[in-house]
């Protein structure tokens, strides 16, 4: 076990990294963040910051030399950098799992080859493959770039071959995945932690609502049957085992109108839909990330009650004017988390708020009322 007083390394300086650093430092660890942005949210709260690119070997050498173990806050860190570090220091999660997650083609193929049900998909390496891909998948469909797509970016709706050609060109003609657009009843996710020994601790299934491709509201526990909760958790656990995973993993699912459960994607890190665990669980997803990285026993994932989280995007800011925070802070059962980002831009995640209560119905009413008070559509 790596005990408090040791130094941990983190690749990535965004809000997920910030919340990891806060948890690690609260537990008595030192943290070095490697991120090219000198003002990144995680760097603001870490005690050391290496302002360098993720493939800078000198910076990676220093990180490996100074730290007892290294983790990552997002999946688009070069897998080669993780492999470089892994030859020198424990890295969790490993480069193999991250490499699969950062490429949609690899991710979909991994899921299919291991027997996990997904929406129909076809790989599109070039424009010539579009027509056969559309015949295999059908329409409506979504064309998604295999790399660097998130929060609705890097994807386009496709209804026919003409739209597919236009979308492929608009996405830069890069490798894509064409994916069936399924009729959804709702979207859910499972966030779990898995230790190096195979120990797993899963949080209650979370129900998610998106707006413009970005997560808007997460509700926990999800309003689904116990059978569906059990099935989703078992599938997420099985995916973690197939990946030989160590760390916090989030698996997103589609619940179809006919009742079937399809795996959408997975993220090898803490997840936006698990932020409510900071306020409503005995152990947050970020503390679990610290525990898994350090080889400690995983924490208790039990919850105190129900929670609903809403993302606070840069659209709320009006020029230099911050939102009316008193509309959040006047509610004793609502928690505000801001990420320390200096510039608000439309669609940029600037923070989140979590409403706490006894039942999912109670907290959903609270978060919808809060959205109305803040002017969030």
pLDDT tens by residue, 17-37: 999 999 999 999 999 999 999
CATH number for the region 7-91 comes to: 3.40.50.20
For residues 83-89, give the mean pLDDT: 95
pLDDT at 152: 64
pLDDT at 302: 96
**How does 53-81 read in b/e, with b if 16+ C-beta sit within 10 Å?**
ebebeebbebbbebbbbbbbbbbebbbeb
For residues 244-266, give the mean pLDDT: 96
- Chain Cα centroid distance, residue 80: 21
**Beta carbons of 64 and 98 less than 8 angstroms apart:** no
Phi-psi map region of 86: left, alpha, beta (phi>0 left; psi -120 to 50 alpha): alpha
- d(CA 164, CA 138) in angstroms, rounded, equals 11
Q: Are strands 69-72 and 48-50 parallel, antiparallel or unpaired?
A: unpaired
pLDDT at 277: 98
Cβ partners under 8 Å of residue 87, min gap 6 = none
For residues 282-292, give the mean pLDDT: 98
Burial class (CB in 10 A: 0-12, 13-18, 19+), 149: middle
Per-residue pLDDT reduced to its tens digit, 115-166? 999 999 999 999 999 999 999 999 899 999 998 766 667 889 999 999 999 9
- Chain Cα centroid distance, residue 90: 22
Query: Residue 259: which pLDDT band, with cuts at 50, 70 and 90?
Result: confident
For residues 93-103, give the mean pLDDT: 92
Laid out side by side, the sheet with 30-34 consists of 48-50, 30-34, 7-11, 69-72
pTM of the model: 0.95
For residues 327-346, give the mean pLDDT: 95
R_g (Cα) of the chain, nearest Å = 20
CATH number for the region 184-374 comes to: 3.30.470.20
Q: How many CB atoms lie within 10 A of CB 299?
A: 18
Q: How many CB atoms lie within 10 A of CB 184?
A: 12
Please give the share of the chain, as a percent, with pLDDT higher than 90.
90
pLDDT at 187: 97
State the fold for domain 120-180. Answer: Dna Ligase; domain 1 (3.30.1490)
- pLDDT of 320 over the 80 cut: no
Q: Would you list the domain boundaries of the chain?
A: 7-91, 120-180, 184-374
pLDDT at 151: 61
- d(CA 245, CA 240) in angstroms, rounded, equals 5
- pLDDT of 285 over the 70 cut: yes
- pLDDT of 269 over the 80 cut: yes
């Amino acid at each position: 076990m790596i005990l408090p007083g040791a130094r941990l390394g983190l690749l990535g300086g965004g809000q997920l990294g910030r919340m990891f650093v806060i948890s690690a430092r609260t537990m008595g660890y030192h943290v070095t963040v490697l991120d090219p942005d000198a003002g990144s949210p995680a760097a603001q709260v870490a005690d050391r910051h290496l302002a360098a690119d993720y493939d800078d070997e000198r910076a990676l050498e220093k990180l490996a030399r100074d730290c007892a173990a290294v983790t990552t806050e997002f999946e688009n860190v070069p897998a080669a950098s993780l492999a470089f570090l892994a030859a020198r220091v424990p890295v969790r999660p490993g480069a193999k799992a991250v490499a699969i997650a950062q490429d949609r083609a690899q991710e979909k193929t991994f899921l299919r080859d291991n027997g996990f049900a997904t929406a129909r998909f076809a790989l599109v390496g070039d424009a010539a493959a579009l027509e056969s891909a559309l015949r295999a998948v059908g329409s409506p469909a979504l064309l998604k770039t295999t790399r660097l797509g998130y929060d609705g970016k890097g994807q386009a709706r496709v209804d026919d071959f003409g739209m597919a050609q236009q979308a492929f060109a608009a996405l830069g003609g890069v490798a894509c995945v064409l994916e069936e657009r399924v009729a959804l009843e709702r979207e859910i996710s499972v966030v779990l932690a898995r230790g190096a020994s195979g120990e797993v601790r899963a949080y209650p299934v979370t129900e998610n609502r998106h707006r413009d491709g970005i997560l808007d509201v997460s509700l926990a526990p999800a309003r689904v049957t116990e059978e569906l909760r059990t099935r989703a958790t078992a599938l997420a656990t099985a995916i973690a085992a197939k990946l030989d995973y160590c760390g916090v993993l989030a698996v997103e699912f589609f619940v179809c109108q006919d009742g079937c459960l399809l795996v959408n994607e997975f993220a090898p890190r803490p997840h936006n839909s698990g932020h409510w665990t900071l306020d409503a669980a005995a152990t947050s997803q970020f503390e679990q990330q610290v525990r898994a990285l350090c080889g400690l026993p995983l924490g208790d994932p039990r919850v105190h009650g129900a929670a609903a989280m809403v993302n606070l995007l840069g659209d709320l800011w009006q020029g230099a004017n911050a939102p009316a925070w008193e509309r959040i802070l006047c509610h004793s059962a609502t928690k505000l988390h801001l990420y320390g980002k200096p510039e608000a831009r439309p669609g940029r995640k600037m923070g989140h708020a979590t409403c706490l209560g006894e039942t999912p119905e109670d907290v959903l009413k609270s978060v919808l009322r809060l959205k109305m008070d803040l002017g969030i559509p």
